[in-house]
Amino acid sequence: MSKPRLDPISEQSIDWMVKLRAGTPDAALLARFNAWLAQDPAHAQAWATLQERLAGSFNTVRALDKRVPGQAGEARQLLLQPNGTRRDALRAITGLGLLGGGLWLGARSPLGDSLLADLSTGRGQQQNYSLADGSRLSLNANSAVSLHFDERQRLIVLHHGELVIQVASDPLRPLRVRTAEGEVQALGTRFLVSQQASATRVVVLQHSVQARLFNGVTLELQEGQSAEMNATSIVPVTGDQRRRADWLNGRLNVLDEPLQHVVDALRPYCRGFVRVAPEVRQLRVQGVFPLNDPERTLTALAETLPIRVDRYGPWLTLIGTR
């Protein structure tokens, strides 16, 4: 049987991935990359597909290792090495069976991310870590990160979930947090990063950070400022967002947000599946709620909003119109 082959544009996408992740890209490289993206809509589509499957977390599942023994761990190391080559990346991806006929297969898997991550938390679990460089890392519930610390870099890859990092000073190795949309580099000491469904939220708790997308767009954020990073832009968020770190104290602090966002913040603490009906998702919520008792929070919301909460055992909760 012949080995799976990629079409030329997908191979070019891998080339660019390797170049852009080999340290910090300079202006000339970013200009060439942007020119390549604009040259043909197929280029942008191939790059978007690559990012969806591999960017940030390079989602690979340990279960695949049962099918191709030994390849999952090797692929994870190869894909996350900043000095890898396209041959390395292609060998790793193909060995996992994620490519075939020019198509990307597989899907993002939070469970797979947690199994492959260096540090992870489960439902309702928060954890604090002391890192090798002296930094202090806090993970919210249902979060996973990989650490890449050596003599040249301090890189944290946030696969899914949310973190707060208190950064130890090291001028020669600025600490970076990488997500599916880009990177956040510490210019000060303390900040929050949250990987959402299609964006990254950044909140500066102390001093400042620089947010950078993979396409080169950058934005410096000062203490108290926040932004959302998506595939093409960094959008500042109005108001002081430092309350979003209140989960460190077991609280969910909500200030005029849609009900859907509140439920999303509770999901890492809830058992089973929680569904919010479309007609109530945009109801506005304000208040401070306990994270360690999500059922109590949902009951409180049902007392103040025109909603009903129906529970079907511990594994299914439906929120709809009262």
pLDDT band for position 60 (cuts 50, 70, 90): very low
Give the C-alpha separation, 183 to 266, whole Å: 26
Give the C-alpha separation, 319 to 271, whole Å: 15
Residue type, 141: A
Give me the mean pLDDT over the 261-279 stretch.
92
Query: What are the E-state strand segments in 207-306?
Result: 208-213, 218-222, 226-229, 234-237, 251-258, 273-276, 284-290
pLDDT > 90 in the chain, percent = 53
Q: Total domain count for the chain?
A: 3
Among 45-59, 137-151, 305-319, name the one with the lowest average pLDDT. Answer: 45-59
| pLDDT of 55 over the 50 cut | no
Residue 68 sits in the same domain as residue 145? no
Residue 281 sits in the same domain as residue 212? no
3-state SS assignment for residue 160: strand
Residue 157 sits in the same domain as residue 238? yes
From 50, 81, 110, the end of a domain falls on: 110
Q: Pick the residue with more confidence: 115 or 42? A: 42
pLDDT confidence of residue 22: 56
pLDDT confidence of residue 187: 86
pLDDT > 70 in the chain, percent = 74
Among 47-51, 198-202, 287-291, name the one with the lowest average pLDDT. Answer: 47-51
In a domain, 27, yes or no: yes
Q: Pick the residue with more confidence: 14 or 246? A: 246
pLDDT confidence of residue 23: 54
Structural domain boundaries, residue 282:
250-321
Q: What is the mean pLDDT of the chain?
A: 80
pLDDT confidence of residue 6: 56
For residue 283, what is the domain's CATH number?
3.55.50.30
Give the C-alpha separation, 173 to 279, whole Å: 49
In a domain, 3, yes or no: no
pTM, full prediction:
0.66
Residue 227 sits in the same domain as residue 148? yes
From 188, 218, 243, the end of a domain falls on: 243
| pLDDT of 71 over the 90 cut | no
Q: Pick the residue with more confidence: 317 or 77? A: 317
Residue 43 sits in the same domain as residue 102? yes
Give the C-alpha separation, 251 to 243, whole Å: 9
Residue 203 is encoded by which pair of tokens?
């909140």
Nearest residue to 182 via CA among 211, 204, 213:
213
In a domain, 44, yes or no: yes
pLDDT confidence of residue 175: 96
* 77-86: pLDDT as tens digits: 444 444 555 5
Residue 177 sits in the same domain as residue 212? yes
- Helix, strand, coil tally for the chain in percent (to 5): 35, 30, 35
| pLDDT of 69 over the 50 cut | no
| pLDDT of 314 over the 60 cut | yes
Q: Pick the residue with more confidence: 249 or 26? A: 249
195: Cβ contacts below 8 Å, ≥ 6 apart:
56, 158, 159, 160, 161, 162, 179, 180
* 2-23: pLDDT as tens digits: 444 556 787 777 777 767 665 5
Q: Pick the residue with more confidence: 249 or 45? A: 249
Residue 281 sits in the same domain as residue 305? yes
Q: Pick the residue with more confidence: 38 or 205? A: 205
pLDDT confidence of residue 225: 95
| pLDDT of 160 over the 60 cut | yes
* 125-149: pLDDT as tens digits: 999 999 999 999 999 999 999 999 9
3-state SS assignment for residue 201: strand
pLDDT confidence of residue 47: 72
